[in-house]
Structure 1
């Protein structure tokens, strides 16, 4: 089967698609960060819980809200045939991200002695940044997998997705020429 430029997007097209995904990931993640920090602040100031307990509670609440955003907005077009597998992997990678975030916070509080509320928030930001990169790669690679397109047999017409990509590429060329 011959490969066309429409079915094999250029690096620029792949990066453009990835940048849109990164922006949506950031929007869902930012809402999770707001939830995470709000619950964390309530736990350490209102409930007077220890910082690591507060972090775990806050992260668990944020994980739940983020799953809804990722599943039903960002990755809604991805394969949802096996929700049990998806949720299991999501919780596994989210838990690993929580360990990264909590590890950075624990290190700053118990090893470096940075234990004021604002120092804890700064450590939480640093841990969250590292954990976010880990989660982005994990979610897009293993959790919310793309629906595999059935391969067309030799001599058959390309699949529906390939046809749609070809139509979109044609439209982009027409718009580019019109400008």
Structure 2
């Protein structure tokens, strides 16, 4: 049986799709593409900002210690929902780490994984040498912080106003984000 040029082309295309969708090479390519297209997130207009009033939420750190999101009340907050299997989440992690390194003593950070396996999360964080404060949800998050998609990132002002509400990968270490954080921290 002889394979035509068209069939050969289709088989090659199918092989490429399988590699991109179902192998670690495909994940790596998806991560790099997401990094290339990640821009600074946009800031919500003041009149459109919602204010978080419910901080009743338990988070579990990677050592199994429970903490309350109430600790974030009155602080500038960066809250990120992510997963180890999510290419856009992985793509934005280096920019988040750079931002965290510079702002960790000035504001509250929480990176909440939606993975079910805490060991997988620990291994991911360790392998990539991240020092981000990573948590697992201990209880359901406040309604205003729920998202059906990841990554989902929120930046809150000291009064709980949701200043940035971004779904999808972004460049969190941009000058625009840093200027916004500096502004929020000075208020």
Bigger radius of gyration among the two: 1
The alignment's TM-score, normalised by the length of structure 2, stands at 0.20
Greater RCO (CA < 8 Å, at least 6 residues apart): 2
The alignment's TM-score, normalised by the length of structure 1, stands at 0.21
